[in-house]
């Protein structure tokens, strides 16, 4: 039987970060980006369970950094046949800064990144068809922000068709104000992303900044009103609020296995593990539990993609 396939779509970039204890001014280099991080943690959560292939969809520059990224993805078990290379184009870059509590902030150099032209100018029909043929799709508010308006609309059409065909469409609102020309444009686009989702998984901070809700419960109700079939509203290390046909409820986070050192990719890893649970037949509660478990491990390491064997779940996300 052929493997089912989930496509994670967005922008991946060169990541620079300083690890405490390193020489001052030394920056380590790796690869990151919200949807790529989610793809890696989905692959790790799936382990040997089920028969699911994880693919990444993006466009990279053919600069030396961009040419390294497909091999990086393949090294994490991610299929790379849906990655386009743009001749003469460049790959985005970002640097992570952390405060004493491990909370992170980002500085980006991405205005001319190749990923911005994905799905634009009518030149990507083969990849569009390949994405739509997948069994599941995940994208984010950052994906919508970096795409040109034409590419953004094409993605939303594909996502809606996949959802209408009964496929899993995951979305995380990930609101980054600097990526948008104005709040109104961001609000319209991210609302449209929620509306085509089978499962939407935003963080409460982003929803509050964009739509004004003070509580996760109010945000979850609004997401369903927008058109999402189900919602998980993340509250950092607190209990996640869930809403679907079974009603409103909370799923708490387990005790952390260690100290928080870097919150980079906490939400992304939650998303990836939650989607893995759903792909293997778990319900919304199991998805939230898997998300909490993975995020709790990731924030104990440095960088977006941590080198921690505990994040590799050979028995799959439902075994625990």
Cα torsion for 27, 32, 33, 36, to the nearest 10°?
Answer: 180
Is 268 noted as a catalytic residue in this protein?
yes
| Chain CA centroid to CA 196, Å | 16
d(CA 49, CA 315): 6
Structure token pair of residue 118: 């994905």
Q: DSSP character for 90? A: B
Instruction: Name the active-site residue from 172, 244, 268, 271.
Output: 268
Structure token pair of residue 249: 């409820």
User: Between the CA of residue 201 and those of 63, 90, 223, what are the distances in Å?
Assistant: 34, 30, 10
Beta bridge partners of 4: 52
d(CA 176, CA 311): 27
The length of the chain, given as a count of residues: 320
Phi, psi of 48 (to 5 degrees): -95, 5
Q: DSSP character for 166? A: T
User: Between the CA of residue 56 and those of 13, 38, 184, what are the distances in Å?
Assistant: 13, 10, 29
Other Cβ atoms less than 10 A from the Cβ of 176: the count is 17
Helix, strand, or coil (residue 106): strand
d(CA 141, CA 193): 7
104-109 and 93-98 strand pairing: antiparallel
Q: Which H helix or E strand runs over 223?
A: helix 216-226
Q: Mind telling me the catalytic residues?
A: 268
């Amino acid at each position: 039987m052929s493997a089912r396939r989930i496509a994670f779509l967005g922008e991946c970039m060169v990541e620079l970060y300083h690890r405490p204890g390193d020489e001052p001014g030394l920056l380590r280099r790796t690869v990151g980006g919200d949807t790529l991080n989610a793809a890696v943690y989905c692959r790790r959560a799936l382990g040997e369970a089920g028969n699911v292939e994880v693919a990444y969809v993006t466009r990279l520059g053919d600069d030396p950094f961009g040419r390294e990224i497909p091999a990086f993805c393949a090294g994490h078990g991610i299929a790379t046949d849906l990655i386009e290379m743009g001749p003469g184009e460049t790959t985005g870059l970002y640097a992570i800064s952390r405060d004493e509590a491990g909370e992170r902030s980002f500085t980006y150099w991405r205005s001319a990144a190749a990923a911005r032209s994905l799905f634009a100018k009518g030149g990507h029909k083969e990849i569009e068809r390949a994405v739509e043929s997948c069994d599941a799709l995940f994208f984010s508010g950052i994906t919508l922000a970096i795409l040109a308006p034409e590419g953004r609309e094409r993605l939303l059409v594909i996502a809606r068709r996949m959802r209408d065909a009964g496929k899993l469409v995951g979305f995380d609102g990930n609101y980054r104000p600097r990526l948008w020309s104005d709040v109104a444009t961001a609000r319209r686009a991210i609302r449209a992303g929620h509306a085509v989702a089978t499962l939407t998984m935003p963080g409460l901070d982003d929803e509050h900044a964009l739509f004004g809700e003070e509580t996760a419960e109010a945000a979850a109700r609004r997401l369903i009103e927008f058109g999402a079939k189900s919602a998980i509203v993340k509250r950092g290390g607190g209990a996640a609020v869930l809403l679907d046909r079974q009603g409103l409820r909370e799923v708490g986070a387990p005790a952390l296995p260690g100290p928080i050192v870097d919150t980079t990719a906490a939400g992304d890893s939650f998303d990836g593990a939650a989607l893995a649970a759903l792909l293997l037949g778990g319900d919304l509660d199991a998805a939230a539990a898997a998300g909490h478990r993975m995020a709790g491990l990731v924030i104990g390491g440095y960088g977006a993609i941590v080198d921690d064997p505990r994040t590799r779940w050979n028995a799959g996300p439902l075994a625990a």
